[in-house]
Structures are given as C-alpha cells and as structure tokens.
Amino acid sequence: MSGAAATRYDVAVIGAGMAGMAAALFAAERGLSCVQVGSGGGILFASGLLDLLAVHPVAEHRLWQSPYDALATLAGEQPGHPLARVDPTSIRAAFQSFVAALTSAGLAYAPLGERNSNLLTSIGTVKTSFGVPMTMAAGVDALERRLPCLLVDFRGLREFSARQIAATLADDWPDLRHQRIDFPGFEAVPEVYAVHLARALETRATRERTIALIKPLLGDARVVGLPALLGLARSQEVHAAFEAGLGVPVFEIPTMPTSVSGLRLLGALESVVSSRGVRRRQLSSVRALTFEGDTALLQLDGAPGGERISARAVVLATGRFSGHGLTADRQSVRESILGLPVQQPGGRDAWHQDDFLDPAGHAINRAGLRTDEVWRPLDATGKPAWKSLFAIGSILADQDWMRAKCGSGLAIATAWAAIEQVAQPLRETQAP
C-alpha cells in the first residue's frame, strides 16, 4: 500500500450528502479535477424540497416569507452563523447553479424567486421551504388559495393518509376532499410500498389504469394531490401524464423517509456529478488523511488493497453524527477523521435542555467545527489545520439547521463559498 502511486486531483471532497454533492458539482463546473469519497445514503431521507432559511430566531419559531429577509436579520443578530457569512449574491448563484444541474438530470424545480413556499406534508401540517420540485408546485397555489382539491391515497400504503390530511385541515380548508383507491395490479397485496408503486407508474398501462380510477372521483376538484410516487427517474413524464389525463393540475405531497423524492434527488445528484467528470468512490471511506507540504494524501478503505489519492485541496463535508463526521462518547464530541477540535458545551450535562421539546433546541445541535473567514477548520491553537483544508455543511458550528429549516441552504451556500476559495489559487497556479 505504501508503495502504490497516488492518483492526483485538484480537490478531494469527503462526504456525499447534500454538501458533498454540491461541492463536487461546483468544483467540476469550475473545471477542477475532483474525487468524491463516501455514500449519499443521507439524501434518501430528504423530502426533495430545498430549504434555504425559514425559521429565525429558532426559539421563537418565527416563520419568514422571504428567506433573504431572514438571512439579513440572521446576519445582524448571529454574524457567526455559517449562512450569515455567505453573501446573498453568492447564495442566489449557488441555488441557481444547483437547481439547473438537477433540471439537466430530469429533476425540474419551480423557478426560484425571492419567497419561500408553503406545502402540505403527509400528516397534514404545513412545511415552509424554498426550492420546490415541479411535481409538487401546484400544491403551493392550491394551499394558498384553498382551491377545491381532491386528495387520493392507496390502500395498503402506510404512513400516508389523505383522510388524516383532510381532517387536520378541515376547519381551514373546507373544500379539501379525500378518497382511497386500490393501486392497479396490487389489489390483493395487503401492504404496498411507495418505491414499488413509483416504478409501476413508469409503465403506460399502469398510469392509464390509475388515472381512469381517479377521474370519476374528481367532482368539482380543481386540483388533485397524491403521495410523492409519480415515477422515479421519469417523474416529469409521469406527472405530465397525470395532468393530461385528469385535466387539472396535479401535485405530489412528500412522504415519510426514506422516500421516493429522496431517491430521485440522490439519483439526479449522482448523475450530474458523474456526468461532469467527478470520480466517485461511494463504497470507500477515508482511513487516513495526512498533509505533506502543498499536497494532501488520502488512504481509502473499500477498494481491494485500498487506494491512495493526492489532492491539492480537501473539502470536509462529512456531516454530523449520522454521517459520522462527528462522534461522541460520554465525555466529549470529536471530529472523526483528523481529530479536529469541536466547539461544544463544556460538559455533557450542558448538551441538552431538560425539556426534550424546548423551542430553543439543544446546545449539542450547535456543536461543530470552527473555521476561519475562508472556511478552513481551526486546530487546537486557533490556526487553520492546513492551508487548503475546508469544512462545509452541517459539521460547522453555530447553527441548528433542522430547527431553522436551512439544511439545503447551509449545504449549498457553504459548498459554493468554499469551492470559490479552492478554485482561486488553483486558477492562479494554472494560468499561463
């Protein structure tokens, strides 16, 4: 292993969640050779919606119609928050680039504006988000205008109930009706799964039979809502067929994870980064990361005999505990690859509030890596750990992405900002 030649890249991205995918995409779009290490399993839990910033302050649960107004307030009140450190122009550019790439892979999003949107969830609550897949977009207008709407679900499909959604919203949306039908070809199956139904709907015969079952139920409905299972890789085609067949707008409602919309997002991201030349090592993990002068050396597990990679820059996009970017024992939280110091409460008794549902959240949720002004994580002396090591996404300190509804925004914006820092010196050294 020690004698094997290392494959050389401009940048190595460690992590394949939203932040890692965004960093690999942005690096490739800037013409940098890039290798990405890790699996994108966490994206399977995504709803397909791209949050930017919906809630601030978290403790007050204040919802914002404009994520950019929310960002301006955040910057004034919490200047150390990672999103507050990326300028709005860069955030707009990052989202436009990210969504354009997804659209090129067949996962189209509604045009990005300046406002958040409100959408139904599978339990009848309302979710505020920014980037909305086109297959869900008609639901935004239906909810805002309280249009006469028919919700349809399928017998045997667990964790999604059109009846529950309608009952939850009955007082506020009187023209919301629900119906349950058998899915064609699965009538005798006691329990059905969204992924199986999504694949089945990619066949024309099953689509036509399903549409034929729904059409007589329309009544005065001006829009139809369905669980998010209108196809996997061909969701645009399936969605268009339902709208044409029913003669009214159709929208999907995100289901519980792991979800079809998460599978779509993962598939689209894998497609776009691969098509742009990123070398993916999705079955590998980093066994060791060392630095020699201007070069980082990565030793990977996973491939037979292992693999050695050298890179001129490294981006840590390893996530928090579920992504194994951070690990914890009974005493402290640690960064998993390099042992970088983690900003965290002084003792374990301060990790959590007494009330699990405390609206302010828990201090442990804001633990993470501190970085300098150009996204380089700091060592124990407060200096950059290495001049071309960068950290992005949820591993960063001073943010609670889940409660702030800013997970995708945090990933996409910090990936854009860090790759700008990676690209500039590499461009200068490559100039004739």
Distance CA 282, CA 326 (A): 19
Do the domain assignments include residue 374? yes
Of 200, 233, 253, the residue at which a domain comes to its end is 253
User: For residue 258, is the peptide bond before it cis, meaning its omega torsion is within 30 degrees of 0?
Assistant: yes
14 and 39 part of one domain? yes
The candidate with the shortest Cα–Cα distance to 285, out of 329, 336, 334, is 336
205 and 310 part of one domain? no
Do the domain assignments include residue 115? no
Mean pLDDT value across residues 410-429: 89
Average pLDDT over all residues of the chain? 93
66 and 126 part of one domain? no
CATH of the domain at 156: 3.40.50.1860
Distance CA 267, CA 280 (A): 13
Span 236-251, pLDDT tens digits: 999 999 999 999 999 9
| Residues spanned by the domain of 349 | 7-104+264-430
273 and 384 part of one domain? yes
236 and 370 part of one domain? no
Mean pLDDT value across residues 62-85: 97
Lowest mean pLDDT among 133-142, 297-306, 415-424: 297-306
Do the domain assignments include residue 278? yes
Q: How confident is the model at residue 395 (pLDDT cuts 50, 70, 90)?
A: very high
Distance CA 268, CA 251 (A): 20
406 and 278 part of one domain? yes
The candidate with the shortest Cα–Cα distance to 273, out of 7, 11, 87, is 11
Instruction: Write down the pTM of the prediction.
Output: 0.94
pLDDT surpassing 70 at residue 430: no
Do the domain assignments include residue 67? yes
CATH of the domain at 66: 3.50.50.60
Residue 324 backbone dihedrals phi, psi, to 5 degrees: 70, 20
Span 7-63, pLDDT tens digits: 999 999 999 999 999 999 999 999 999 999 998 778 988 999 999 999 999 999 999
Output the CA torsion sign for 309, 314, 317, 322.
positive
Cβ atoms of 237 and 203 closer than 8 Å = no
pLDDT surpassing 90 at residue 164: yes
**Total domains, the chain:** 2
Do the domain assignments include residue 175? yes
42 and 128 part of one domain? no
DSSP 240-258: HHHHHHHSS-EEEE--SSS
Q: What is the pLDDT of residue 413?
A: 98
Distance CA 388, CA 426 (A): 10
Of 253, 288, 312, the residue at which a domain comes to its end is 253
Beta-carbon contacts of 344 under 8 Å, excluding residues fewer than 6 positions away, are: 332, 333, 351, 363, 364, 367
pLDDT surpassing 70 at residue 431: no
Do the domain assignments include residue 199? yes
277 and 246 part of one domain? no
pLDDT surpassing 90 at residue 258: no
Output the CA torsion sign for 183, 187, 191, 196.
negative
417 and 346 part of one domain? yes
Distance CA 295, CA 218 (A): 63
307 and 183 part of one domain? no
246 and 272 part of one domain? no
Q: How confident is the model at residue 305 (pLDDT cuts 50, 70, 90)?
A: low
Beta-carbon contacts of 59 under 8 Å, excluding residues fewer than 6 positions away, are: 359, 360, 361
Do the domain assignments include residue 2? no
Match 């965004």 to its residue by tokens: 22
Q: What is the pLDDT of residue 428?
A: 61
User: For residue 359, is the peptide bond before it cis, meaning its omega torsion is within 30 degrees of 0?
Assistant: no
Do the domain assignments include residue 109? no
Distance CA 175, CA 220 (A): 9
Q: How confident is the model at residue 1 (pLDDT cuts 50, 70, 90)?
A: very low
Percentage with pLDDT > 70 across the chain: 97
Mean pLDDT value across residues 295-300: 95
Output the CA torsion sign for 263, 266, 267, 268.
positive
Beta-carbon contacts of 412 under 8 Å, excluding residues fewer than 6 positions away, are: 18, 19, 22, 50, 91, 94, 95, 98
Name the region of 235 (left: φ>0; alpha: ψ -120 to 50; beta: rest). Answer: alpha
User: CA-CA distances (angstroms) from residue 325 to 207, 279, 299, 342, 363?
Assistant: 42, 21, 17, 11, 18
Q: How confident is the model at residue 303 (pLDDT cuts 50, 70, 90)?
A: low
Residue type, 14: I
Of 221, 253, 285, the residue at which a domain comes to its end is 253
Cβ atoms of 45 and 347 closer than 8 Å = no
Q: Which helix (H) or strand (E) holds 167?
A: helix 162-168
Distance CA 432, CA 116 (A): 45
177 and 295 part of one domain? no
Span 351-379, pLDDT tens digits: 888 888 788 888 788 889 999 999 999 99
